[in-house]
Amino acid sequence: MDAMVRELSYAQAIQEAMAVAMDMDERVFLMGEDIGVYGGAFQVTGDLVDRFGTERVIDTPISELGGAGVAVGAALTGMRPIFEFQFSDFATLAMEQIVNQAAKMRFMLGGEVSVPVVMRFPAGSGTGAAAQHSQSLEAWLGHVPGLKVIQPATPYDAKGMLLAAVADPDPVMIFEHKLLYKAKGPVPEGYYTVPIGKADIRREGRDLTIVATSIMVQKALDAAATLEAEGIDVEVVDLRTIRPMDRQTVVDSVKKTSRLMCVYEAVKTLGIGAEVSAMIAESEAFDYLDAPIVRLGGAETPIPYNPELEKATVPQVPDIITAARDLVKGVR
Amino acid sequence: MAGASKAVADSRANLPFVYRQYSAEQLKQVLYKMYLIRRFEEGAEESYMRGLIHGTMHLSIGQEASAMGICMPLGEDDQITSTHRGHGHCIAKGAEVKRMFAEFFGKTTGYCKGRGGSMHIADVAKGNLGANGIVGGGIPIAVGAALSSKMMKTGKVVVSFFGDGANNEGAFHEALNMAAVWKLPVIFVCENNGYGMSTSTARSTAVKNIADRAAAYSMPGVIVNGNIFSEVAEASHKAVERARAGEGPTLIESKTYRHRGHSKSDRNRYRTKEEIEDWMSNRDPITLFENELREFGFIDGPGIEAIREAVAREIADGIEFAKVSPSPDVRETGNYVYTEQA
């Protein structure tokens, strides 16, 4: 019998995934700042503390480095911690434990240990929180062998990928765009997983491949709907995982459409778009390209406070429409 | 008190802690291991000089009593996190020197299959969760292991070794605070050898004693002479009892000295020859322990000689084992980055 499917918000889907994981496995527990009675800065853990108690929903002091290290140590010794950063920006305070310890422990010890820690990072701009609470740092962590880095774009994927992350024996970093928390979508009850390392073709098309991540997936789909009226048929690939990246799905899509655009919120240079572009340039899909590759990414600035400026620093639907139109029509 | 009759116990009543607590056999084994640590590091240093080991290493020669004393009351299930100066901790926790040599030689038979080297030596089966190349890196990890112990009710105690340099890292303060707030079964052991690389604690640290920092985290702060085995073991014993009773963490400051430089690049310009000579001649931990064992009648000259010879054999066999062991295949460079899944 198929599981009941309801409409849940992205935040509710994550909360449900954590509850399912904790019900299934007593080794799973939550750590983070104000995730208990407060419910988390974005109410993602919500009332889980009432159900699972303070022993399994642990409020940490404001100690990102130490807290991340405790999660790593617990994972190393048999537990399955899910560690919430209050904002993804605070990963900067914990990079030592993430990059030097969690990512490398298994390798440095010759395969004698695994570090099954899950870290959740509320990310992205659009909340008026300015430069230190709005960054998209996923590519930083995507550069580190030993980590897996995912960016679910829908409530369905947010639940399924979190459950896959908890089951994964290695450290998984989940970047959750804060503006997605209220987005709704169908989510089955109970346990299911969405595989890490597999992209998803969210819309099939013939004229152009848009590889998008996180909140940019929906923006690309909105742009595609407008472009369809103009006779431009866009394929939207939701990358979902940035390490390990699903090369084959992107290559196959570009071979079909002969045009590639990458859309992501993080700063444009040295980011995911560069990686996807290079991946295509190095692949058999290169010969299929009918036009130069286009990247739409964040501006080369910190995220500003003023709402108009803030919007202007990251790609918006009209930007995608214009760039896609120019790309397909050969306007450069 | 294993192996000691009441009469023997009475005769020991006025002796220092370890001579009341442990049998003669156990104490001779401690001397054996202190020599094993010393000779292992000398063997590693010599192999480095001869070009058999590359990279660098950080020797703990002069700190053997600290490693052995702290590990003495620990069981095999108890766990430690160690440091870049961690060879002594590794041996004290039960590692085999042949597999340690093999790791230094970069061989597949090494503890990390040649992927970690000196700075990442570990022996997870014996409870050593690993040395660490990052100063202070292991401290929060030890707190996490102690959290696992508490949550899974395994009764394990976790020891985090670190140096005086680490006490100025944020990780130290964050970790001690959390361990105290959550009353975790963890023991923080600062091996204060006087210098963070070249910078003395007087120049780097605002408090006179690192143990003074324990007050900020509402835990006992204990200072011991790290070169006297019995003093260290007694402090560790009390901290282990406190941890096992669910009363929370302890900070032990073990004041000691490294005879060698920080690493292989050290020219020793920040300390005097006289200072080094004083520690080597007058406060060597092995000599001090050996003298006590003799004085209290636990061992005689031939007994000591037998230990030295047995250690020399184990070291020679270990180096030979490392030399003849196979190197990893370069085609396997990508192994162990992720857990292999079916």
pLDDT tens, residue by residue, A99-154: 999 999 999 999 999 999 999 999 999 999 999 999 999 999 999 999 999 999 99
- Kindly report, residue by residue over A262-290, the tens digit of the pLDDT: 999 999 999 999 999 999 999 999 999 99
Q: What is the pLDDT of residue A2?
A: 63
Structure tokens at A280: 């295509």
- Looking at CA atoms only, how far is residue B304 from chain A in angstroms? 36
Residue B301 sits at the chain A interface (C-beta within 8 Å): no
* CB distance B116 to B103 below 8 Å: yes
What's the CA gap between B211 and B222, in Å, rounded?
A: 6
Domain ranges of chain A: 5-188, 200-329
Largest Cα span, chain A:
60
- Looking at CA atoms only, how far is residue B328 from chain A in angstroms? 11
What's the CA gap between B31 and A303, in Å, rounded?
A: 62
Scanning B274-293 for CB atoms below 8 A from A yields none
What's the CA gap between B177 and B184, in Å, rounded?
A: 11
Chain-centroid distance, C-alpha A178: 11
What's the CA gap between B19 and A278, in Å, rounded?
A: 68
What's the CA gap between A58 and A79, in Å, rounded?
A: 14
* CB distance B61 to B260 below 8 Å: yes
Chain-centroid distance, C-alpha A111: 27
Scanning B39-98 for CB atoms below 8 A from A yields 79, 81
Bridge partners for B221 per DSSP: B251
The shares of helix, strand and coil residues in chain B, as percent rounded to the nearest 5, are: 50, 10, 40
Q: Which residues contact A19 (CB under 8 A, 6 or more apart)?
A: A48, A51, A52
Domains with residue ranges and CATH for chain B: 6-262+271-325 (3.40.50.970)
Residue B303 sits at the chain A interface (C-beta within 8 Å): no
Q: What is the pLDDT of residue B4?
A: 56
* CB distance B147 to A73 below 8 Å: yes
Residue B110 sits at the chain A interface (C-beta within 8 Å): yes
Are A108 and B120 in contact (CB < 8 Å)? yes
Question: Does A15 have pLDDT greater than 80?
Answer: yes
> Is residue A133 among the annotated active site residues?
yes
Q: Whats the size of chain A, residue-wise? A: 332
Scanning B111-170 for CB atoms below 8 A from A yields 111-116, 120, 122, 124, 129-130, 132-134, 137, 139-149, 151-152, 170
What is the residue type of A319? Answer: D
Superfamily of chain region A5-188? Thiamin diphosphate (ThDP)-binding fold, Pyr/PP domains (3.40.50.970)
CA distances in angstroms from B249 to A54, B87, B185, B222, B239, listed in the order given = 21, 24, 6, 12, 7
Q: What is the pLDDT of residue A330?
A: 87
Give me the residue from A69, A106, A145 closest to B144, CB to CB: A69
Chain-centroid distance, C-alpha A183: 15
**Catalytic choice (A16, A33, A133, A138):** A133
DSSP strand pairing (A28-32 vs A57-59): parallel
Structure tokens at B256: 């000691």
* Three-state DSSP class for residue B52: coil
Residue B183 sits at the chain A interface (C-beta within 8 Å): no
Question: B249-262 burial string, b = 16+ CB within 10 Å, else e?
Answer: bbbbbbbbbbbbbb
- Kindly report, residue by residue over A156-194, the tens digit of the pLDDT: 999 999 999 999 999 999 999 999 999 999 999 999 999
CB neighbour class for B131 (10 Å; exposed up to 12, middle 13-18, buried from 19):
buried
A96 DSSP 8-state letter: I
- Looking at CA atoms only, how far is residue B139 from chain A in angstroms? 8
Q: Which residues contact A225 (CB under 8 A, 6 or more apart)?
A: none
* CB distance A267 to A298 below 8 Å: yes
Q: What is the pLDDT of residue A55?
A: 97
Bridge partners for A186 per DSSP: A7
Q: What is the pLDDT of residue B9?
A: 67
Are A97 and B341 in contact (CB < 8 Å)? no
Give me the residue from A68, A74, A101 closest to B148, CB to CB: A74
Q: Do domains A5-188 and A200-329 have the same CATH topology?
A: yes
**Looking at domain A200-329, which of 1.20.120.530, 3.10.110.10, 2.40.50.140, 3.40.50.920 is its CATH number?**
3.40.50.920
**Catalytic choice (A16, A33, A64, A138):** A64
Nearest CA-CA partner of B171 in B36, B240, B81: B81
Are A79 and B147 in contact (CB < 8 Å)? yes
Which residues in chain B are closer than 8 Å to A97, comparing Cβ atoms? 137, 140-141, 171
What's the CA gap between B47 and B54, in Å, rounded?
A: 9
Average pLDDT score, chain A? 97
> Is residue A64 among the annotated active site residues?
yes
CA distances in angstroms from B194 to B22, B226, B252, B270, listed in the order given = 30, 12, 15, 11
Q: What is the pLDDT of residue B119?
A: 95
Are A72 and B141 in contact (CB < 8 Å)? yes
Q: Whats the size of chain B, residue-wise? A: 342
Percent of chain A at pLDDT exceeding 90: 98
Tens-of-pLDDT digits for all 342 residues of chain B? 445 566 676 788 899 999 999 999 999 999 999 999 999 999 999 999 999 999 889 999 999 999 999 999 999 999 999 999 999 999 999 999 999 999 999 999 999 999 999 999 999 999 999 999 999 999 999 999 999 999 999 999 999 999 999 999 999 999 999 999 999 999 999 999 999 999 999 999 999 999 999 999 999 999 999 999 999 999 999 999 999 999 999 999 999 999 999 988 888 899 999 999 999 999 999 999 999 999 999 999 999 999 999 999 999 999 999 999 999 999 999 999 999 986
Return the half-sphere exposure (C-beta side, CA atoms, 13 A cut-off) of residue B53.
27
Radius of gyration of chain B (CA): 20
Q: Which residues contact B115 (CB under 8 A, 6 or more apart)?
A: A107, A108, A109, A110, B328, B336
DSSP A231-260: T--EEEEE--EEES--HHHHHHHHHHHS-E
Q: What is the pLDDT of residue A1?
A: 47
Nearest CA-CA partner of B27 in B55, B63, B2, B45: B2
What is the residue type of B327? Answer: S
